[in-house]
Amino acid sequence: MRRALLISLILVAAGCGSSGAAEVFPFEEIQGSELVFKADPLDPSRTIFRVTTTEPSICAITWGPNESLGNQNNSLTMNGTGIAQHDVILPGAIPGETYYFTVQGSTADGRLFKRDLDTFTIPPVDGPPGGDSADRGPNLALEATVTGVSSEFSAAFAAANALDGDPATEWSTRGDGDGGFITVDLGATQEIGGFEFITRSMADGSAVTTEYTVTMDDGDTLGPFPAGSPADRRFQAIETRGRVVRFDINTSTGGNTGAVDIGVYGPQG
Protein backbone atom coordinates (compact mmCIF):
# COMPACT_ATOMS: atom_id res chain seq x y z
CA MET A 1 0.00 0.00 0.00
CA ARG A 2 2.81 2.44 0.86
CA ARG A 3 4.50 1.49 -2.42
CA ALA A 4 1.31 2.32 -4.30
CA LEU A 5 1.05 5.63 -2.46
CA LEU A 6 4.64 6.50 -3.35
CA ILE A 7 3.98 5.74 -7.01
CA SER A 8 0.91 7.98 -6.88
CA LEU A 9 2.95 10.84 -5.42
CA ILE A 10 5.64 10.44 -8.06
CA LEU A 11 2.96 10.67 -10.74
CA VAL A 12 1.58 13.79 -9.09
CA ALA A 13 5.02 15.38 -8.99
CA ALA A 14 5.68 14.42 -12.60
CA GLY A 15 2.36 15.86 -13.69
CA CYS A 16 2.93 19.10 -11.78
CA GLY A 17 6.25 19.61 -13.49
CA SER A 18 5.10 18.58 -16.95
CA SER A 19 4.50 20.87 -19.90
CA GLY A 20 2.14 18.28 -21.42
CA ALA A 21 -1.63 18.31 -21.81
CA ALA A 22 -2.47 18.02 -18.11
CA GLU A 23 -3.43 21.41 -16.67
CA VAL A 24 -1.86 22.30 -13.35
CA PHE A 25 -3.81 24.58 -11.03
CA PRO A 26 -2.45 26.74 -8.19
CA PHE A 27 -2.36 24.78 -4.94
CA GLU A 28 -4.04 27.76 -3.27
CA GLU A 29 -7.30 26.73 -4.99
CA ILE A 30 -7.61 23.74 -2.63
CA GLN A 31 -5.65 25.20 0.30
CA GLY A 32 -8.02 25.52 3.24
CA SER A 33 -5.63 26.87 5.90
CA GLU A 34 -2.32 28.61 6.35
CA LEU A 35 0.83 26.56 5.87
CA VAL A 36 2.27 25.85 9.32
CA PHE A 37 5.86 24.82 10.01
CA LYS A 38 6.77 24.23 13.65
CA ALA A 39 8.82 22.13 16.02
CA ASP A 40 6.98 19.13 17.48
CA PRO A 41 6.24 19.94 21.15
CA LEU A 42 6.94 16.30 22.10
CA ASP A 43 10.28 16.36 20.26
CA PRO A 44 11.59 19.88 19.49
CA SER A 45 14.24 18.42 17.17
CA ARG A 46 11.46 17.19 14.85
CA THR A 47 9.71 19.50 12.37
CA ILE A 48 6.02 19.29 11.47
CA PHE A 49 4.35 20.72 8.34
CA ARG A 50 0.58 21.15 8.52
CA VAL A 51 -2.08 22.25 6.02
CA THR A 52 -5.72 21.45 5.33
CA THR A 53 -7.27 21.12 1.89
CA THR A 54 -10.83 22.01 0.96
CA GLU A 55 -11.43 18.48 -0.33
CA PRO A 56 -9.74 15.10 0.18
CA SER A 57 -6.42 15.12 -1.68
CA ILE A 58 -3.24 13.12 -2.08
CA CYS A 59 -0.58 15.70 -1.24
CA ALA A 60 3.15 15.87 -0.68
CA ILE A 61 5.65 18.54 0.29
CA THR A 62 8.94 18.57 -1.60
CA TRP A 63 11.70 20.50 0.16
CA GLY A 64 15.43 20.93 0.62
CA PRO A 65 18.31 23.31 1.44
CA ASN A 66 18.33 24.83 -2.05
CA GLU A 67 16.15 25.13 -5.13
CA SER A 68 17.05 21.59 -6.16
CA LEU A 69 14.97 20.41 -3.16
CA GLY A 70 15.66 16.66 -2.77
CA ASN A 71 13.21 15.53 -0.05
CA GLN A 72 9.57 14.53 -0.39
CA ASN A 73 7.25 13.70 2.50
CA ASN A 74 3.55 13.12 3.03
CA SER A 75 1.16 12.37 5.87
CA LEU A 76 1.14 8.73 6.99
CA THR A 77 -2.56 9.12 7.75
CA MET A 78 -3.27 9.20 4.00
CA ASN A 79 -2.75 5.42 4.11
CA GLY A 80 -3.41 5.09 0.40
CA THR A 81 -6.26 7.58 -0.04
CA GLY A 82 -6.96 11.31 -0.09
CA ILE A 83 -7.41 13.26 3.15
CA ALA A 84 -8.15 16.88 4.08
CA GLN A 85 -5.94 17.30 7.18
CA HIS A 86 -2.28 16.90 6.22
CA ASP A 87 0.17 16.61 9.14
CA VAL A 88 3.62 15.77 7.84
CA ILE A 89 6.89 15.07 9.65
CA LEU A 90 9.98 16.47 7.88
CA PRO A 91 12.92 14.27 8.91
CA GLY A 92 16.19 16.18 9.12
CA ALA A 93 14.74 19.70 9.00
CA ILE A 94 16.73 21.75 11.52
CA PRO A 95 15.17 24.60 13.53
CA GLY A 96 16.71 27.94 12.57
CA GLU A 97 17.63 26.80 9.03
CA THR A 98 15.86 28.08 5.90
CA TYR A 99 14.59 25.59 3.32
CA TYR A 100 13.01 25.83 -0.11
CA PHE A 101 9.75 23.96 -0.67
CA THR A 102 6.76 23.39 -2.89
CA VAL A 103 3.50 21.53 -2.23
CA GLN A 104 1.68 19.47 -4.82
CA GLY A 105 -1.51 17.48 -4.74
CA SER A 106 -4.18 15.62 -6.66
CA THR A 107 -7.93 15.41 -6.07
CA ALA A 108 -10.25 12.50 -6.82
CA ASP A 109 -11.37 14.05 -10.13
CA GLY A 110 -7.79 13.94 -11.42
CA ARG A 111 -6.97 17.64 -11.13
CA LEU A 112 -3.36 18.48 -10.30
CA PHE A 113 -2.28 21.35 -8.05
CA LYS A 114 1.10 22.88 -7.23
CA ARG A 115 2.37 25.78 -5.14
CA ASP A 116 5.13 28.04 -6.45
CA LEU A 117 8.58 27.58 -4.95
CA ASP A 118 8.85 29.29 -1.55
CA THR A 119 10.90 29.07 1.66
CA PHE A 120 10.22 28.19 5.29
CA THR A 121 12.21 28.54 8.51
CA ILE A 122 11.49 26.71 11.77
CA PRO A 123 11.87 28.95 14.84
CA PRO A 124 14.90 27.84 16.90
CA VAL A 125 14.21 25.95 20.13
CA ASP A 126 15.90 26.69 23.45
CA GLY A 127 18.43 23.95 24.11
CA PRO A 128 18.40 20.35 22.91
CA PRO A 129 15.63 17.92 23.83
CA GLY A 130 16.52 15.07 26.10
CA GLY A 131 14.41 15.22 29.21
CA ASP A 132 15.34 14.80 32.83
CA SER A 133 18.72 14.45 34.50
CA ALA A 134 17.81 11.45 36.68
CA ASP A 135 20.63 9.06 37.51
CA ARG A 136 20.27 5.71 35.82
CA GLY A 137 22.18 2.49 35.65
CA PRO A 138 23.00 0.80 32.33
CA ASN A 139 20.15 0.37 29.86
CA LEU A 140 19.66 -3.40 29.82
CA ALA A 141 17.15 -3.13 26.97
CA LEU A 142 19.95 -2.36 24.51
CA GLU A 143 21.04 -6.02 24.75
CA ALA A 144 17.52 -7.45 24.99
CA THR A 145 15.44 -9.18 22.32
CA VAL A 146 11.78 -8.77 21.43
CA THR A 147 9.77 -11.92 22.21
CA GLY A 148 6.26 -10.58 21.70
CA VAL A 149 4.48 -7.57 20.19
CA SER A 150 0.85 -6.67 19.57
CA SER A 151 1.60 -5.69 15.95
CA GLU A 152 4.01 -3.80 13.71
CA PHE A 153 2.93 -1.20 11.16
CA SER A 154 5.62 -2.39 8.73
CA ALA A 155 9.22 -3.60 8.64
CA ALA A 156 10.34 0.03 8.85
CA PHE A 157 8.50 0.33 12.18
CA ALA A 158 9.59 -2.99 13.70
CA ALA A 159 9.42 -3.62 17.44
CA ALA A 160 13.21 -4.00 17.61
CA ASN A 161 13.50 -0.27 16.85
CA ALA A 162 12.34 0.41 20.41
CA LEU A 163 15.46 -1.32 21.75
CA ASP A 164 18.19 0.28 19.60
CA GLY A 165 18.64 3.54 21.52
CA ASP A 166 18.32 5.49 18.25
CA PRO A 167 15.82 8.40 18.45
CA ALA A 168 15.51 8.37 14.65
CA THR A 169 13.83 4.93 14.64
CA GLU A 170 10.64 3.78 16.31
CA TRP A 171 8.23 0.90 16.77
CA SER A 172 4.67 1.52 15.59
CA THR A 173 1.66 -0.73 15.96
CA ARG A 174 -0.94 -1.10 13.24
CA GLY A 175 -3.72 0.83 14.95
CA ASP A 176 -3.60 -0.98 18.32
CA GLY A 177 -4.25 2.12 20.44
CA ASP A 178 -4.54 1.18 24.13
CA GLY A 179 -4.11 -2.49 23.21
CA GLY A 180 -0.47 -2.10 22.17
CA PHE A 181 2.22 -4.07 23.99
CA ILE A 182 5.82 -5.18 23.59
CA THR A 183 7.62 -7.95 25.50
CA VAL A 184 11.41 -8.07 25.84
CA ASP A 185 13.80 -10.72 27.15
CA LEU A 186 16.87 -9.38 28.98
CA GLY A 187 18.71 -12.69 28.46
CA ALA A 188 19.06 -13.43 32.17
CA THR A 189 17.42 -12.44 35.43
CA GLN A 190 18.56 -8.90 36.23
CA GLU A 191 18.32 -6.42 39.07
CA ILE A 192 16.29 -3.48 37.75
CA GLY A 193 16.38 0.13 38.93
CA GLY A 194 13.86 1.81 36.64
CA PHE A 195 11.96 2.07 33.35
CA GLU A 196 11.31 4.47 30.49
CA PHE A 197 8.72 4.34 27.73
CA ILE A 198 9.39 7.09 25.16
CA THR A 199 6.19 7.39 23.16
CA ARG A 200 6.04 7.78 19.42
CA SER A 201 3.55 10.30 18.07
CA MET A 202 1.92 11.25 14.81
CA ALA A 203 2.14 14.84 13.63
CA ASP A 204 -1.64 15.17 14.06
CA GLY A 205 -1.42 14.41 17.80
CA SER A 206 -2.56 10.80 17.61
CA ALA A 207 -0.54 7.72 18.65
CA VAL A 208 0.65 9.37 21.88
CA THR A 209 0.95 6.98 24.81
CA THR A 210 0.13 8.76 28.06
CA GLU A 211 0.41 5.87 30.55
CA TYR A 212 1.88 2.38 30.51
CA THR A 213 2.23 -0.60 32.83
CA VAL A 214 5.09 -3.07 33.23
CA THR A 215 4.52 -6.77 33.95
CA MET A 216 7.44 -8.88 35.17
CA ASP A 217 7.85 -12.59 34.46
CA ASP A 218 6.68 -13.41 38.00
CA GLY A 219 3.31 -11.87 37.11
CA ASP A 220 3.82 -8.69 39.16
CA THR A 221 2.35 -5.67 37.35
CA LEU A 222 3.86 -2.27 38.08
CA GLY A 223 2.38 1.15 37.34
CA PRO A 224 0.66 2.73 35.61
CA PHE A 225 3.52 5.13 34.90
CA PRO A 226 3.41 8.32 32.80
CA ALA A 227 4.99 7.77 29.39
CA GLY A 228 7.86 10.01 28.37
CA SER A 229 8.78 11.84 25.19
CA PRO A 230 12.14 12.84 23.67
CA ALA A 231 11.64 16.23 25.33
CA ASP A 232 10.73 14.79 28.76
CA ARG A 233 11.79 11.16 29.25
CA ARG A 234 10.07 10.66 32.64
CA PHE A 235 12.39 8.03 34.05
CA GLN A 236 10.57 5.88 36.63
CA ALA A 237 12.84 4.71 39.44
CA ILE A 238 11.77 1.38 40.93
CA GLU A 239 13.43 -1.66 42.52
CA THR A 240 12.55 -5.05 41.07
CA ARG A 241 14.16 -7.96 39.28
CA GLY A 242 13.32 -10.22 36.37
CA ARG A 243 14.21 -11.40 32.90
CA VAL A 244 11.10 -11.07 30.71
CA VAL A 245 9.48 -7.63 30.82
CA ARG A 246 6.19 -6.70 29.15
CA PHE A 247 5.23 -3.06 28.50
CA ASP A 248 1.48 -2.49 27.99
CA ILE A 249 0.02 0.78 26.72
CA ASN A 250 -2.53 1.69 29.36
CA THR A 251 -3.94 4.96 27.96
CA SER A 252 -3.23 6.81 24.73
CA THR A 253 -4.68 9.11 22.09
CA GLY A 254 -5.29 6.01 19.96
CA GLY A 255 -4.11 4.97 16.52
CA ASN A 256 -0.68 3.60 15.60
CA THR A 257 0.74 3.72 19.11
CA GLY A 258 4.26 2.52 19.92
CA ALA A 259 7.61 3.73 21.22
CA VAL A 260 10.67 5.58 20.02
CA ASP A 261 12.63 3.82 22.77
CA ILE A 262 11.99 1.79 25.87
CA GLY A 263 14.46 1.55 28.73
CA VAL A 264 15.01 -1.13 31.35
CA TYR A 265 17.74 0.22 33.57
CA GLY A 266 19.98 -1.53 36.05
CA PRO A 267 20.45 -0.09 39.53
CA GLN A 268 22.45 3.11 39.78
CA GLY A 269 26.14 2.45 40.35
The three-state (H, E, C) secondary structure of 44-83, written as one string? EEEEEEEEEEEEEEEEEEEEECCCCCCEEECCHHHCCCCE
- At residue 84, φ and ψ (nearest 5 deg) are -105, -30
Phi/psi for 48 (5° steps) reads -120, 135
pLDDT tens track, the chain, 269 positions:
444 444 444 444 444 444 455 799 999 999 999 999 988 877 777 788 999 999 999 999 999 999 999 999 998 777 778 999 998 989 888 888 899 999 999 999 999 999 999 999 988 765 444 556 567 899 999 999 999 999 999 999 999 999 999 888 999 999 999 999 999 999 999 999 999 999 999 888 889 999 999 999 989 999 999 999 888 899 999 999 999 999 999 999 999 999 999 999 999 86
Alpha-carbon distance of 257 to 246, in angstroms, equals 15
Q: Matching CATH topology for 11-121 and 140-265? A: no
- The CA distance from 222 to 215, in Å, is 6
Q: What's the topology of domain 140-265?
A: Jelly Rolls (2.60.120)
Q: Can the peptide bond before residue 224 be classed as cis, meaning omega within 30 degrees of 0?
A: yes
CA distance 251 to 31: 34
Whether the CB-CB separation of 264 and 195 falls below 8 Å is answered with yes
Amino acid present at 110:
G
The DSSP output letter for 201 is: -
Contact at 8 Å (CB) between 58 and 105?
yes
Domain 11-121 in CATH: superfamily? Immunoglobulins (2.60.40.10)
CA nearest neighbour of 258 among 268, 246, 267, 249: 249
Measured in degrees and rounded to the nearest 5, phi and psi for residue 199 equal -65, 145
pTM over 0.95: no
- Domains of the chain by residue range: 11-121, 140-265
Q: Let me know: does 113 contact 12? Beta carbons within 8 Å.
A: no
